[in-house]
Structure 1
Amino acid sequence: MARRKSRKANFGADFRENWQLYTLCGLILATFLMGGASRGDVVSLIFLRPLATICLGLGLYGLTLQQARAYRLPLGVMGAIIGLILIHLIPLPPFIWTNLPGREIAVEAGELAGLGDVWRPIAMVPFRGWNAFYSMLVPAAVMVLSIQVPPEKHRVVLYTILVGALLAVLLGIAQAGSGFNPSFYLYRVSSQGSPNGLFANRNHFAALLCIAIPALALIASRAREPRKTLVVALCSGGVLLALLMIFATGSRTGLALSVLGLLLGWIVWQARPDQIKRRKVGPTWIVPAVAGVFSLLVVGCLAVIFGRAQALDRFTEGSVAEEGRLRAWEITAGSLSDYLPVGSGIGSFVEIFKIHEPSDMLSFAYWNHAHNDWLEWLLEGGIPMAILILFVLWAFIRGAAYLWQQRHTGSYGVQLGLFGASAILILGLWSFVDYPLRVPSLASLAAIAAVWMVTPRVLGASSKRVS
């Protein structure tokens, strides 16, 4: 009885000291389990968004002025995104919004409906704009909490992310093993006939797997004796599993960016401390033995996947949607000038695309996104969004250059920052052909990655080593 009370007391004290860490890890797992879809009508968002709002409130309550100043760059970008969305939702008097470019159809519709002089926001589809605002609460909560987690505890956060990735892989294998039974998919609207894991879209599953590659390289590079050999072997097997699962999804972008993931993983691996580089890995037979056994298990599991999924066919045969992407990009790019300088409004793409969509592209399906988020952001946000994008690109290049200069310091913070830069780079490149950052789990991962990128500069990583 006394031991139980002592354990409870110790846990209570530990929780009070590290409540931000526990809250963050719990929220991350919740985003993986409930935030794997980009649609705004997913039922699980009814639970995830209120949970994120509570976590955001707790995070803001615990955030100190010193922390806010130290991490003003990622917080400023997050605040600018949310602020721009809110500006687009402010009702404007008729003499303002009716004179905004591209609003002629809204004015004409209002006259035909006899609505008279009504106040309207910049966003031409306000309810989708509000959905965009609510969606930002999840990564905002993750960012605010991650800033307050002590740097030496960020290891736990990284492990939590990999636990989410592992759950996604296991569910993906189960989906294939069941013959892609709908009961194994978490979302009603999903990429049927392929392993999606915890996601609604196979491409977003592949994006997570590409990001997992440099994460595994980071863990392997910091392994210590006596388990160093085993950890390196398991991480190598994990990379192999990620590559095979990417291939199984049939994601062309995933296959291309997996090569980049391997390159970025090598960069993270090379940034390990010199003493670890000189340390012996252990008996030479252990690594190939463990990797071989692991590979056999992986191949056995994925034999089921390749037997049931048309993964190979997807690399040679394009769907109607894939063939129409170039045209969708052309239409989106061609309509940008019609809504400058303020844009068509955050969240308005679906309706705006229908206005400009040619008759030969009409079908029973519709374009929910441009499948090029950079174009979609410019269409909806106009010149202010373009300025914000340029600032973010400048901040990323500046931060990545600093991390590259510090890569020989052997700092764990620098390695973690390099992984963060890798994750953001993969998601940024992926956004040229898809919309991964609209998925709560991937958006949250990007928020954490942004914090990890600036942490070495905040802590002075060049003079402080964390092993």
Structure 2
Amino acid sequence: MALFAGGASRLHELRLALVELAALPVLVLAISKLLGGCPRPTPLAMLLIFGTAALPLVQLIPLPPSVWTALPGRDQAALALELSGLQPSWSALSFAPDKTWRSFLALLPPIAMFIGVGLSGSADRGRLVHIILGFAVLSIVLATAQVASGGDQLYLWPTTSPGTVVGFFANRNHLATLCLLTMPLAAVMGARVLRRQDRSDKLTLWLSILFICMMVLSLGVIRSRMGVVLLVPTLAGSILAAWIASGGGRPKPLLLGLVGGATVAVGAIVIFALTPLLARFDTAGVREGRFENWPIVAEAANTYLPLGSGLGSFDAVYRSVEPLELLDSTFFNQAHNEYLEIWLETGWLGAALICVFLVWFIRRSWTAWRARPGRERDIQRAASIGIGVVLLHSAVDYPLRTETIAVIVAMMCALLDMAARSDEELTVDMKSARRRQRAD
């Protein structure tokens, strides 16, 4: 449901509600298994889950007038009530309680995915990875059909700009994110067949090479600026993870084929798409809203410290502080910087959660990259690259505000969290998965 109905982040409440409803049975089953003694996420991951889910709920707690009017940034709201002749009443900390509640509901699918993947067997996790890779291919096929239609046909979201390459998303930047975060998954899935025990399945490696070439060429057509900037480091990380997955040592000919295929795809972009790509970076005479507006957002965020203005309140807060000289026919619906927007909406609590997440990410990634090659470890290394791509992209955009990307990243986080498990625990997990498969 998240893949096919979660490709937009606003004005599509019904489709997003379907994804959130689909998450409820998964969440209930996952929690019941946790309570039944199944392996749990690491303590740091559990802290992140509870903290992230609790944050919007805390912002919705009704506060007495004497409390909320004394909070930083509430003086204008109190003044408006006074000028209207109204008495302040109990109110939530958030300036937009309805959107804060929607933010909490939007967290349910990624939380359900994270816990559910952590409780799944190795075979099921492998199927999920294949599903994500297949979805990326379908997205590119749909995007190709959208461009070939020559108009506004085959676009799934009314808020999309016709003529852009978006696939199942409403924004081409999010499709670029999908292309980038699936590359390391495909690379390790193909390269690991080069290890001695998997030498018979060379078709998987050829499919992996074809997949990566398709994603690289697609980025040239999508023309997402950050997608192009992140392409080379993503390819470098994917090739390194593939080399480790192949067993290390002297690069094997087929692994060199993976490098060669990616290089040829990049070369094709340079030859056939360099001019339109450079045009995307040419902002001379054009106001680049996100960069010019970031200082305004940062100043507004400082006004609402230490607790923030409430999740989902960015639009209302920014409209109240936007300088008149910047008003034009466009509107700044998001900060295009997740860290800055979280700083505005959640203050010190959100910043603390980001810091905890980064500590968790660095620790789990360090463990995964130090481990010996193995099926589970290969996927964990690829997941760390995918998460890193999204963290970098979030500095200039908002990919995690689409349910599709949020759920995929949650799956990768669950895979990476398993780096804390020993090889013996993962082996037991794989054997139990095989037993269940034979029983079915």
Provide TM-score, normalisation by structure 1: 0.83
Whether contact under 8 Å (1:169, 1:245) holds in the other structure is yes
Q: Identify if the C-alpha distance between structure 1 residues 64 and 150 changes in structure 2 by more than 3 Å, giving closer, same or farther.
A: farther
1:346 corresponds to 2:311? yes
In structure 2, give the amino acid aligned to 1:214.
P
Q: Percent identity?
A: 30
1:361 corresponds to 2:326? yes
**Aligned pairs, how many?**
422
CA distance in 2, matches of 1:122, 1:45: 25
Q: Which residue of 1 aligns with 2:436?
A: none
Q: Which residue of 1 aligns with 2:71?
A: 100
User: What is the deviation of 1:104?
Assistant: 1.0
CA distance in 1, matches of 2:336, 2:62: 29
User: What is the deviation of 1:438?
Assistant: 0.7
* 1:405-443 deviation line (CA, Å, top 9, x unaligned): 21xx11222111111111111110111000011110111
Whether contact under 8 Å (2:243, 2:251) holds in the other structure is no
Q: Which residue of 2 aligns with 1:7?
A: none
Q: Which residue of 1 aligns with 2:414?
A: 451
Question: Alignment partner of 2:153: what SS?
Answer: helix
Whether contact under 8 Å (1:399, 1:453) holds in the other structure is yes
* 1:132-170 deviation line (CA, Å, top 9, x unaligned): 111101111111211110134311111011111111111
CA distance in 2, matches of 1:153, 1:75: 22
1:103-142 correspondence to structure 2 within 5 Å: 103-142=74-113
After alignment, is 39-48 or 435-444 more displaced? 39-48
Q: Which residue of 1 aligns with 2:373?
A: 410
Question: Alignment partner of 1:335: what SS?
Answer: helix
Whether contact under 8 Å (1:349, 1:369) holds in the other structure is yes
1:146 corresponds to 2:117? yes
1:369-408 correspondence to structure 2 within 5 Å: 369-406=334-371
CA distance in 1, matches of 2:353, 2:252: 47
Which of residues 238, 247, 272 is equivalent to 2:211?
238
1:208 corresponds to 2:171? no
After alignment, is 117-126 or 50-59 more displaced? 50-59
1:316 corresponds to 2:310? no
Whether contact under 8 Å (1:413, 1:461) holds in the other structure is no
Whether contact under 8 Å (1:94, 1:117) holds in the other structure is yes
CA distance in 2, matches of 1:279, 1:202: 35
In structure 2, give the amino acid aligned to 1:358.
P
1:421 corresponds to 2:395? no
User: What is the deviation of 1:192?
Assistant: 2.9
Q: Which residue of 2 aligns with 1:8?
A: none
Whether contact under 8 Å (2:314, 2:334) holds in the other structure is yes
CA distance in 2, matches of 1:98, 1:61: 41
In structure 2, give the amino acid aligned to 1:193.
G
Whether contact under 8 Å (1:234, 1:291) holds in the other structure is no
CA distance in 1, matches of 2:114, 2:181: 18
User: What is the deviation of 1:118?
Assistant: 1.1
In structure 2, give the amino acid aligned to 1:38.
S
User: What is the deviation of 1:311?
Assistant: 5.4
1:433-448 correspondence to structure 2 within 5 Å: 433-448=396-411
RCO higher in structure (CA 8 A, sep ≥6): 2
After alignment, is 186-195 or 197-206 more displaced? 186-195
Provide TM-score, normalisation by structure 2: 0.87
1:323-338 correspondence to structure 2 within 5 Å: 323-338=288-303
Q: Identify if the C-alpha distance between structure 1 residues 114 and 320 changes in structure 2 by more than 3 Å, giving closer, same or farther.
A: farther
User: What is the deviation of 1:310?
Assistant: 5.9
User: What is the deviation of 1:349?
Assistant: 0.6
Question: Alignment partner of 1:271: what SS?
Answer: helix
User: What is the deviation of 1:62?
Assistant: 3.0
Q: Which residue of 2 aligns with 1:217?
A: 187
RMSD, matched Cα: 3.1
CA distance in 1, matches of 2:124, 2:53: 28
* 1:154-191 deviation line (CA, Å, top 9, x unaligned): 11111011111111111111111111x32311100013
1:156 corresponds to 2:127? yes
Q: Identify if the C-alpha distance between structure 1 residues 40 and 207 changes in structure 2 by more than 3 Å, giving closer, same or farther.
A: same
CA distance in 2, matches of 1:319, 1:462: 58
CA distance in 2, matches of 1:151, 1:365: 47
Q: Identify if the C-alpha distance between structure 1 residues 317 and 43 changes in structure 2 by more than 3 Å, giving closer, same or farther.
A: farther
1:454-465 correspondence to structure 2 within 5 Å: 454-460=417-423
**Runs (5+) with no aligned partner, structure 2:** 432-440
User: What is the deviation of 1:59?
Assistant: 2.4
Whether contact under 8 Å (1:70, 1:458) holds in the other structure is no
